[in-house]
């Protein structure tokens, strides 16, 4: 299951990989958004993938909001028989049982070389602006396992890009994005293989 909040270009990379049979036996069984009407949902529908929308209940205090949303996502995942959850531009924080029940089975893509430029408030253009302001000479993207923190789980893979002398946040974002499409597919392939190997080991 792929969780999204926006445009869904990483989701599209995964859809393309599945259509090209690069995910092996892996299939995208569901796409879930925490925002209605995002373009990622249109991409999923166009590919014939079942879509779900689960929006935060803003009337609840922040902590309960996360628990409540995470609980509904866990229910959808369990009902759909999901083995792997991929956060591909998903902006809500998962909390509670889902982290335990899917431990080692939730991955996230982040547009920086973690542990640098991760954590609360570090998303989208903010990441690239911070990288430029710090005068970094390289940036990139990371795919990591999701734990109870924000962008803190073990890193599975990273892809680097140079930061150019006259770079803008937009230019850097675009360069990082191109690497993300490779990284997210590679990580999905690795996880599918791992899940299958573990399953065979259990037989
Ligand atoms: C990506 O940069 C990803 O690293 C971050 O959110 C962005 C999502 O882009 N978590 P898209 O929706 O896949 O186009």
- The pLDDT assigned to 146 comes to 97
Name the residue with the closest Cα to ligand 1, atom 12: 8
Question: pLDDT confidence of 168, banded at 50, 70, 90?
Answer: very high
Q: Give the pairing type, strands 138-145 and 155-162.
A: antiparallel
Residue 80: partners with Cβ closer than 8 Å, 6 or more residues away? 1, 29, 30, 50
Token duo for residue 21: 């049979």
- The pLDDT assigned to 1 comes to 98
Cβ of 7 below 6 Å from ligand 1: yes
For the segment 171-195, the average pLDDT, to the nearest whole number, is 97
pLDDT of 151 above 80: yes
Mean pLDDT of the chain: 96
DSSP 34: S
pLDDT of 171 above 70: yes
- Listed in sequence order, the DSSP H helices in the chain are 9-19, 39-46, 62-80, 97-101, 125-133, 169-202
Separation CA 36–CA 34 (nearest Å) = 7
For the segment 27-32, the average pLDDT, to the nearest whole number, is 98
Atom index in ligand 1 nearest the CA of residue 108 equals 10
Cβ of 151 below 6 Å from ligand 1: no
pLDDT of 203 above 80: no
Q: Which residue of the set 110, 128, 144, 177 is catalytic?
A: 110
Contact assessment for residue 108 and residue 90, using Cβ atoms and an 8 Å cutoff: yes
Residue 153 C-alpha to ligand 1 middle, in angstroms? 18
In which residue are the tokens 């191109």 written?
178
For the segment 179-199, the average pLDDT, to the nearest whole number, is 96
- The pLDDT assigned to 201 comes to 86
Residue 156: partners with Cβ closer than 8 Å, 6 or more residues away? 107, 143, 144, 145, 187, 190
Separation CA 19–CA 16 (nearest Å) = 5
Dihedral sign, Cα of residue 147, residue 152, residue 158, residue 162? positive
Cβ of 180 below 6 Å from ligand 1: yes
Separation CA 118–CA 174 (nearest Å) = 18
Atom index in ligand 1 nearest the CA of residue 13 equals 13
In which residue are the tokens 């028989």 written?
81
Is 63 among the catalytic positions?
no
For 90-147, what is each residue's pLDDT tens digit? 999 999 999 999 999 999 999 999 999 999 899 999 999 999 999 999 999 999 999 9
- From 17, 31, 130, 177, the mutation candidate for ligand 1 (largest count of ligand atoms within 8 A of CB) is 177
Token duo for residue 6: 């926006």
Cβ of 14 below 6 Å from ligand 1: no
For the segment 3-16, the average pLDDT, to the nearest whole number, is 98
- The pLDDT assigned to 61 comes to 93
Phi, psi of 162 (to 5 degrees): -75, 150
Name the 3-class secondary structure at 167. coil
Contact assessment for residue 112 and residue 175, using Cβ atoms and an 8 Å cutoff: no
Q: What's this model's pTM, rounded to 2 decimal places?
A: 0.96
Question: pLDDT confidence of 202, banded at 50, 70, 90?
Answer: confident
């Amino acid at each position: 299951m792929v969780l999204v909040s926006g445009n869904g270009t990483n989701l599209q990379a995964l859809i393309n990989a599945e259509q090209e049979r690069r995910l092996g036996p892996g299939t995208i069984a569901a796409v879930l958004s925490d925002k209605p009407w995002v373009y990622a949902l249109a991409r999923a529908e166009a590919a014939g993938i079942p879509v779900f929308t689960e929006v935060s209940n803003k009337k609840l205090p922040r902590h309960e909001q996360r628990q409540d949303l995470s609980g509904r996502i866990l229910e959808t995942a369990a009902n759909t028989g999901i083995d792997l959850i991929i956060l591909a531009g998903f902006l809500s924080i998962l909390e509670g049982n889902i982290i335990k029940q899917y431990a080692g089975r939730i991955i996230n893509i982040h547009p920086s070389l973690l542990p640098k430029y991760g954590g609360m408030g570090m998303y989208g253009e903010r990441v690239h602006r911070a990288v430029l302001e710090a005068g970094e000479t390289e940036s990139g993207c990371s795919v990591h396992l999701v734990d109870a923190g924000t962008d803190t789980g073990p890193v599975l893979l990273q892809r680097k890009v140079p930061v150019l002398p006259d770079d803008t946040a937009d230019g850097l974002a675009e360069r990082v994005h191109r690497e993300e499409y490779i990284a997210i597919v590679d990580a999905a392939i690795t996880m599918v293989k791992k899940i299958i190997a573990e399953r065979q080991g259990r037989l």
